[in-house]
Amino acid sequence: MNKDLENYKNISEKIITPSSGYGMLLVELVVLPAAFFGLISFYATDNVGIILSVVLGILWFIGLFGFTTINPNESIVVTLFGTYIGTVKSNGFYWMNPFYSRNRISLRARNLDGKTLKVNDKEGNPIEIGCVVVWKVEETALAAFAVEDYTHYVSVQSEAAVRHLAVTHSYDHLDDGLDHTHEVTLKDGGDVINNILEEELRERLSLAGINVIEARIAHLAYAPEIAGAMLQRQQAMAVVAARTKIVEGAVGMVELALKKLSDKDIVTFDPETKAKMVSNLLVVLCSEKSASPVVNTGS
């Protein structure tokens, strides 16, 4: 990660607890009548009293802007003329300096349903891939000051992580004669692939104080232009695998049949007859259609 970006992590969250709003609300309820009755009492008799009443009314009005309410799983990042004061995370009714700037940041878990991306996998095959990310703000100071827009940052970095995951892993094992036993693929990787994606997202989003709760591949497919060819390849591999099993089974059955016939001395085969017998049995056992028996009544 860029060294300049790492320096932003020096911003540390500071938890503060403002004064209760109920006490100040009582003060406000007392100040307003006092200012009003003072203005009436000193009207046209005492200029100093009038000025004090006006000042008291102005302070009452300014004090109204100090009230704030924080809901559960919500926070307020407080600054004063460009200086970070702290973060309020406890829900409730509070009063704070009316000149504080307040940036509300939700602490609730959020879902990012990433758009489907078209990228090339490790083998260069075009694929479509998309992810779902569950995330929440953990460090409010980083979310507020380390990045311009933390929600946009999550979206962009999630897309970058998915692209990197796709280009560093193959969609599926290719039948190229090489040993791919220990290679994790996007198609069959399952939880391993998801864990790799989660770890990369945690590293990328930690700069913005974001905690990645879960990340999962939500969509994975070959791109339309090669989907048909890849489907034919998969079908061909399935046919070859099935045929291989059929031949293996047929050879075993022929071997067993010849051995049983020989052991029980039912019939004796010369090499030429034995070859014809093997050929006929293999044709019958490997054929996709049922064999039509022919009864031989003699030559």
Structure confidence by residue, pLDDT tens digits, 217-247: 888 887 776 555 666 666 666 666 677 777 7
DSSP state of 125: -
Ranges 23-32, 131-140, 151-160, 193-202: which has the least confidence: 23-32
44 backbone φψ class: left, alpha, beta (φ>0; ψ -120 to 50): left
Record the pTM: 0.68
| pLDDT at position 13 over 70 | yes
283/288 Cα distance (integer angstroms): 9
Helices (H), the chain: 3-6, 21-42, 47-63, 140-145, 150-167, 191-205, 224-263, 271-286
What letters, b where the CB count within 10 A reaches 16 and e where it falls short, cover 104-129? ebeeeeeebebeeeebebeeebebbb
Which distant-in-sequence residues (6+ apart) come within 8 Å of 42 by Cβ?
Answer: 48, 49, 50, 52, 53
Instruction: Tell me which residue of 74, 52, 60 sits closest to 25, measured CA to CA.
Output: 60
Structural domains of the chain ordered from first start: 10-105 (no CATH), 110-222 (3.30.479.30), 234-286 (no CATH)
Per-residue pLDDT band for 5 (boundaries 50, 70, 90) equals low
Average pLDDT over residues 101-120: 89
The two structure tokens encoding residue 84: 């970070």
Distance CA 98, CA 83 (A): 15
For the segment 246-279, what is each residue's pLDDT rounded down to a tens digit?
777 777 777 777 777 677 666 666 676 667 666 7
